[in-house]
Amino acid sequence: MLLMLGACAKKESFVIFSTARAQGSIQAPDDCFKQGSCGGFPALKNIYGRETLPKLIVDLGNWSADTPAGRLTKGSDVLEMMNAFPYSAAAPGITDINLPAKDFDRLADNAKFPLIATNLYLRNGQRQPGLPQYHIIDINGHKIGFFSVLLANPESPERQKNYARFRLEKGSFDANLAINAMKKEGAKIIVMLLSIDPKAKSDKGYYKKFLSQAKRTSLIITDDPEVKKTFRSGNTWIIPAGKGNKKVERTEISFSRESGKISSINSKTIDIDPLRYKEDQELHNIAVRYQISEKKHFSKKIGTLRSPLPLKASGMYPMANFSADCIRRWARTNASLMPLSEPASPFSSTTVRLQDLYSSFPKDSSIVFVKIRGENLIDSIRQLPKDSFTVSGLKLYYAAEGNKTAKMEKIESDAGPIKPEKIYHVSVPDSMITAENTSLLANAAEFANSKRPTREVIRWCISSKYAFTPFTERIFIKRGK
């Protein structure tokens, strides 16, 4: 019995809470609970506060997002919430490093916790000051080492990836440098924060391959959506982080006090339920402040239309027609093409507010300028399904017999028939150029992406009070007997 008691005394435990992918939301975005509480960070603070074992909390980044709220705050709301804990360490996500330099630097400068960037470099090969390669945390006299790997594509993890400002190097080389440094400083448990591009698909073979090159990693915490529960690869545990401010992962780690080796892991996903855990008042007040600011911002009036614009009316597509006219006006091109799928909802009122604009144009498309010969323009348009797009500056004539699919007879510009040898300037949103529809660019003499968001061009048109004719016909079908 004395031997058993001695063995138990040599084991200690601590808890790691982990979160990831807030993506511009400080509270659960889709399923707010009753009584005006929406969970998220305010409820998480109470969950964290109730823990009685030695504890720390980490995050895997992606604080910003390509959403209306995400573009407004650029991660600053998430950072303010995390600073209120404060978090023990975090890794920046792919959406964060893609922010404009001033916005990312503001996050890095204002963080009250280490922002670990092990395999992240500036494009010139230097490291950004203030972003450590690793961080060691002391828990009751025991050193726990943390490093991070940002992964753009799990299917080719060792390939270098360049972004506008940063560069991701292959993770295994930098990981071993960090592990060696932490071991020299006395860290016995090594934890890797693995942040994967939210748009990428996971490859479970990644873990076995990585760990064959970084064998001394004790634990991997990841936002990989394919990792739904804890599993083990060799001597390394792989654990899912709680995502989206709806869940948090609580991982209890028992280890040998002498060797530092992990003896057992008990990991559990906890729903961040504000009805059960209530909300921390300080963080609740921060959330309310951002809610008021967001509501005020998106309720701004951006302009007035002459009439509401439905998606479809009397066989025409007023929203898409308006968009095509708008883009042609802004781009000053001969013609414009607009996929019917670009507008997601109508402008049901003549008064258009910013929230209406984001609802009607949720895609993050941008305008592409195309120079194309007349004969190639005709050929490109012939390849497009008739009921998938509309035009501005052009008239399309189709012929159909009975219920047979209409066939294009001719195309005319506002100035008359299309001339085969003439170069025409055409503007389109890049959402129209897909893997299934490359004819326009394939036939183009020249093209360039303006990088101007389609949504911002539509906003310019609404606020400019130009007179558009969205209810005019552009596509004509002659039916035979």
Per cent of the chain over pLDDT 70 is 93
Contact 348, 443 (CB under 8 A): no
Q: In 10 A of CB 58, how many CB atoms? A: 26
- pLDDT, residue 67, reads 78
Is 5 inside a domain boundary? no
Residues 260 and 358 placed together within one structural domain of the fold: no
Q: Are residues 227 and 318 in the same domain?
A: no
- CATH number (domain holding residue 56): 3.60.21.10
Residue 1 within a domain: no
Instruction: Flag the least confident range among 13-17, 403-407, 420-424.
Output: 403-407
The answer to which of 9-18, 204-213, 350-359, 417-426 has the lowest mean pLDDT is 204-213
Q: What pTM did the predictor assign? A: 0.82
How many structural domains comprise the chain?
A: 2
Please check whether residue 444 lies inside any domain of the structure: yes
Q: Looking at the structure, do residues 282 and 355 belong to the same domain, yes or no?
A: no
Query: Do 272 and 349 fall within a single domain?
Result: no
Question: Is the dihedral angle over the CA atoms 396, 401, 405, 407 positive or is it negative?
Answer: negative
pLDDT of residue 33: 54
In a domain, 3, yes or no: no
Crossing angle of helices 76-83 and 41-50, rounded to 10°: 20
Which token pair is 404? 């047979």
Residue 32 predicted with pLDDT over 70: no
218: which 2 tokens? Answer: 């004790």
- Residue 365: inside a domain: yes
CATH of the domain at 433: 3.90.780.10
Q: Quick check: 175 pLDDT over 50?
A: yes
pLDDT tens sequence across 119-155: 999 999 999 999 999 999 999 899 999 999 999 988 8
Among residues 272, 296, 320, which one ends one of the domains?
A: 296
The reply to whether 398 and 268 lie within a common domain is no
Residue tagged 């490859």 (tokens): 203
Q: Which residue has the higher pLDDT, 479 or 144?
A: 144
Domain identity same for 309 and 257: no
Q: How far apart are CA 467 and CA 307, in angstroms?
A: 11
Question: 3 φ, ψ to 5°?
Answer: -65, -45
pLDDT bracket for residue 1 (50, 70, 90): very low
Count of residues in the chain: 481
d(C-alpha 131, C-alpha 6), whole Å: 42
- Is residue 4 assigned to a domain? no
pLDDT(256) > 80: yes
Domain boundary among 248, 264, 296: 296
Beta strands in 274-406 (DSSP E): 301-304, 335-339, 351-353, 366-373, 389-392, 394-401
Element (H, E) at 43: helix 41-50
Q: Is residue 295's pLDDT more than 50?
A: yes
Domain check: are 278 and 314 in the same one?
A: no
Q: pLDDT (tens digit, 9 = 90+) per residue, 57-98?
A: 999 999 998 778 888 899 999 999 999 999 999 999 999 999
For strand 142-151 and strand 366-373, is the pairing parallel, antiparallel, or unpaired?
Answer: unpaired
Kindly report the average pLDDT of the chain as a whole number: 90
Residue 123 · residue 70 · CB < 8 Å: no
Is the domain of 423 the same as that of 280?
A: no
Give yes or no for a contact between 354 and 297, defined as CB atoms under 8 angstroms apart: yes
pLDDT greater than 70 at residue 5: no
Helix (H, G, I), strand (E, B) or coil at 148: strand
pLDDT for residue 480? 64
Q: Quick one: pLDDT at residue 2?
A: 41
Q: Is 39 helix (H, G, I), strand (E, B) or coil?
A: coil
Using DSSP, state whether 282 is helix, strand or coil. helix
Confidence band of 31 (pLDDT split at 50, 70, 90): low
The pLDDT, as a whole number, for residue 83 is 97
Q: Which residue has the higher pLDDT, 33 or 10?
A: 10
User: Residue 119: which domain range?
Assistant: 10-296
Question: What per-residue confidence (pLDDT) applies to 401?
Answer: 67
Residue 386 has pLDDT above 70, yes or no: yes
pLDDT digits (tens, 9 = 90+) for 341-363: 999 999 999 999 999 999 999 88
122 and 257, same domain (yes or no): yes
Same structural domain, 236 and 325? no
Burial label, 24 (beta-carbon count in 10 A; 0-12, 13-18, 19+): buried
Sheet with strand 166-168: strands edge to edge = 120-122, 166-168, 161-162
How high is the pLDDT of residue 36?
60
Examine the domain organization and report whether 267 and 369 are in the same domain: no
Percent of the chain topping pLDDT 90: 69
Overall average pLDDT of the 434-448 stretch: 78
pLDDT band (50, 70, 90) for residue 37: low
Residues 197 and 326 in one domain: no
- What is residue 170's predicted lDDT score, i.e. its pLDDT? 85
Residue 16 domain-assigned? yes
SS percent in the chain: helix, strand, coil, step 5: 30, 30, 40
The residue among 237, 266, 296 that closes a domain is 296
Query: Residue 183, SS3?
Result: helix
- The answer to the question of residue 2 being in a domain is no
